[in-house]
Chains A and B, each alone.
Chain A
């Protein structure tokens, strides 16, 4: 089920949380919503799940207009809030049973599905323990379990790995990858961990100060910020190496290194030319990735939209 966000604006008093934001999320894709703190990610997610209404613009999930659908939209969406908590006196299984009842999953089905979901998120062994004894990671996994319990066509996760240890993050990624690789579910999640988004997402949007600074596929955006690479060479004669390097691209130097920005096709020529004249202790080649996209979007400004 696709998501369409058209010209959405949201203000709180004098603060513009979202300013004329538009982008689409394709059905079955994994979409990363990137931005620094206060960029507007959580505001947008709350609008997406119908917890708030835009001042202007429209959001559709499939054919459903979120602003007018009311709670119906939450039938379609499995949502994991950024701040999640459960009553400490309930068990994980009880929370899922409660979720199933409120989501109108027939009893025969939830009796079957609750153990399966607990198993999937790795909480089968702790299902009948009070949540008061759960770690932060276990609570977030329980949150994911509540979100996927009714097989929603759209999963929206607000910073799902915040506060998790590396093992917990890896487990979480595994579950998300399982969902996105083998089902038609659309997954949208917010994060400010670039590596996480780069490894999981097909497409991204970068928000900054409530404005959409970039959106599109990761590859498309990477190409849009340039096809060049950055080569860092540690050499014994920086001056000579810099002179040679200037024939290939833009050069900057430090005490023991020459940094050259040039077209990717010229990298081997550069390394060959310098290697003939000076001793090269090491070479690093950096291609532009999500970090570059994010940096350009936040620091420089709008880098545009790249169609999927």
Chain B
């Protein structure tokens, strides 16, 4: 078929008229949803084909099984809780790092390849590009976290019985939450920086801040000053890694961590506050990225 035949419709009407008429419904929620769904599917497909899904699942499963094998757990509830506490202590470092590295090139990487120019040339909003990217890759991250850590569940049930399922399930749920929170931060960084190398540097600084420095500073403040409960709560909710730690340990009898985690146990943080703050850590960076990407110059 020639280019001219392509650009004429069945009645020989000139190019574009049919499409223009069909575009009258442009802007409806359904229409917007369909376009976002196309972006989600595309991002999901890319993440799976680039082997991120397999790599993340394998890493999480490997560490999960290593903890299970070498935690020295005894039979009984205390043994199970020790395993979960060990998993929390591992996940609080591993999940943020994996999510940040997974997401740092979500937007800026597309600009590097020239794909962002193509996306921005389509009749989709820039915010949709961010949201579609977040959801598409996020599905892969959720799947990898659930499967990677969930692979331990049959062994835990075998050793400790089916009663461990709710507690372990809640741990996986919290793990998914913290992974998405750090992934959202990575998408935000990726949306505002101009080069991939800056994005990588940025997310590594984010990781160092939230998993190392923030905790140490918070502990220092708690040790040095007689802080009110509200201040401690603020310190916790201002760090998604701490929110995850508190959430995941809240169902256990044993304290999973020393230092700041021990202080956390003395606060009156409600489950709803923790869940809401983790949700905010997922939604707010993504929303901010969706707004700030409008200023991006190609």
Contacts and interface: CB of A to CB of B under 8 A. Distances in A.
A185 B114 contact: no
Contacts of B1: 116, 119-120
A182 B123 CA distance: 26
A175 B5 CA distance: 11
A79 B121 CA distance: 6
Interface in A118-148: 119-120, 143, 146, 148
Contact of A86 (B49, B114, B298): B114
Interface stretch (B10-18, B59-67, B174-182, B283-291): B10-18
Interface stretch (A149-157, A210-218, A292-300): A149-157
B221 interface: no
A183 B4 contact: yes
B38 A101 contact: yes
A249 B52 CA distance: 74
A106 B21 CA distance: 13
Interface in B1-35: 1-9, 14-20, 22-23, 26-27, 31, 34-35
A181 B4 contact: yes
A154 B16 contact: yes
Contacts of A154: 16
B4 A182 contact: yes
Contact of A98 (B31, B38, B114): B38
A246 interface: no
Chain B, interface size: which category? Answer: 35 or more
Contact of A83 (B5, B31, B49, B117): B117
A85 interface: yes
A99 B123 CA distance: 9
Contacts of B114: 81, 83-86
B37 to A, nearest CB: 8
Interface string B146-179: 0000000000000000000000000000000000
B123 A102 contact: yes
A237 interface: no
B115 A86 contact: yes
Interface in B81-133: 110, 113-115, 117-118, 120-125
Most central of B121, B123, B125, B298 by chain A CB within 10 Å: B121
B116 to A, nearest CB: 9
B45 interface: yes
Contacts of B39: 102
A263 interface: no
Contacts of B250: none
Contacts of B113: 85-88
B122 A99 contact: yes
B46 interface: yes
A26 interface: no
Interface of A: 1, 46, 49, 51-52, 70-72, 74-76, 79-81, 83-90, 94, 98-99, 101-106, 113, 116-117, 119-120, 143, 146, 148, 150-154, 175-176, 178-179, 181-185
Given A75-B20, A83-B298, 13 more contacts: A49-B121, A52-B297, A72-B123, A84-B118, A85-B115, A85-B118, A86-B113, A89-B46, A102-B123, A104-B31, A151-B16, A151-B19, A185-B14
